[in-house]
């Protein structure tokens, strides 16, 4: 699962000492380069998922993704103390709610949506994160937040209205509803994980919740008929991309960026991700991008920008 792309300042707990600020004379461009790479990696996740679903059913694809990532997360936990039982239970709940439900809903939603519409809907996750944080973490919600939410939902509505309802790039109401459910679950994962990460650290929380999620996805994989799974080179490449690049490398880059850059700069990487995903969808799948869809894209980006205002003001 992707690490939060906005509101990175939500009480972020350090996993280790902060990077030294003694040499401020020379700007370090490495974190910015890594963020640019992360924008590309995460921006391509929905189009790659759409490709993988051609050969592997949704239940199997999401399971393969986290099984591929599981050994890397296990390595992250070497040398760390076992969390307290209460925190382990919370991490298990995060894995089931945020990953098993959220990512499964996304897989089924992508299968029933055009890749462009699916990407557009996932772009509102940062806005939902801000709204949920205002409730759960008692953070103030200001007028820009509310306006950003309205603009983002309006943009999604325009994008859905512009999507064809028949043909190879069609989107269905069921698919769009599943993508919205996934977005709420992922945003919830980001917000609720803050409290656990404050006690156990970000890396431990991400690793343990992902390992619990991988275990929870096994029954769905076992229930999938073997004849329905076609491990073509494309499918294997998609599994490795989603598991190792989007999930594992994405987490590592994000945490590294948060340790070396202001949260508002790290969070700015969210702006390019939907644009990359939508452009890739248009090239790979021929998704139609008419004026209404482009207007919807603009509204969503404006909404994300307004939602990020509070992160800059404190």
- The torsion angles phi and psi of 133, rounded to 5 degrees, stand at -65, -35
Both tokens assigned to 292: 């209404």
Both tokens assigned to 309: 């205002």
Going by the DSSP 8-state scheme, the letter that residue 140 receives in this structure is -
pLDDT of residue 223: 93
Q: Which of 305, 302, 299 is nearest to 159 (CA)?
A: 299
pTM equals 0.79
Query: Per-residue pLDDT for the chain (314 aa), expressed as one digit of tens each?
Result: 444 443 444 444 444 434 444 444 455 677 778 888 988 999 899 999 999 999 999 999 999 999 999 999 999 999 999 999 999 999 999 999 999 999 999 999 999 988 888 888 888 887 787 778 777 767 666 787 778 778 877 887 877 777 666 556 677 889 999 999 999 998 899 888 888 988 998 889 999 999 999 999 999 999 999 999 999 999 999 999 999 999 999 888 877 776 676 655 666 666 778 888 888 888 888 877 778 888 888 888 887 777 666 544 44
pLDDT of residue 64: 97
């Amino acid at each position: 699962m992707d690490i939060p792309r906005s509101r990175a300042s939500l009480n972020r707990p350090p996993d280790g000492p902060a990077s030294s600020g003694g040499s401020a004379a020379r700007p370090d461009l490495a974190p910015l380069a890594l963020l640019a790479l992360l924008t590309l990696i995460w921006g391509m996740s929905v189009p790659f998922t759409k490709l993988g679903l051609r050969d592997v059913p949704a239940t199997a694809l999401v399971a393969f993704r986290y099984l591929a990532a599981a050994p890397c997360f296990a390595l992250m936990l070497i040398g760390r103390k076992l969390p307290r039982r209460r925190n382990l239970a919370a991490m298990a709940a995060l894995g089931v709610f945020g990953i098993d439900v959220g990512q499964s809903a996304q897989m089924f939603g992508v299968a029933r949506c055009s890749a462009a519409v699916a990407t557009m809907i996932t772009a509102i996750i940062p806005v939902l994160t801000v709204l949920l944080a205002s409730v759960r973490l008692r953070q103030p919600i200001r007028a820009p937040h509310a306006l950003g939410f309205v603009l983002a939902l309006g943009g999604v509505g325009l994008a859905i209205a512009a999507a064809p309802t028949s043909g190879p790039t069609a989107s269905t109401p069921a698919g769009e509803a599943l993508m919205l459910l996934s977005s709420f679950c992922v945003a919830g994962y980001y917000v609720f994980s803050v409290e656990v990460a404050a006690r156990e650290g970000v890396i431990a929380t991400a690793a343990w919740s992902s390992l619990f999620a991988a275990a929870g996805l096994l029954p769905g994989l076992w229930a999938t008929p073997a004849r329905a799974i076609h491990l073509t080179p494309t499918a294997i490449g998609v599994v490795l991309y989603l598991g190792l690049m989007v999930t594992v490398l994405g987490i590592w880059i994000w945490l590294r960026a948060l340790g070396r850059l202001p949260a508002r700069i790290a969070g700015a990487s969210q702006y390019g991700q939907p644009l990359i995903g939508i452009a890739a969808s248009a090239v790979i799948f021929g998704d139609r991008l008419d004026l209404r869809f482009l207007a919807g894209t603009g509204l969503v980006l404006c909404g994300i920008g307004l939602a990020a205002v509070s992160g800059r003001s404190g």
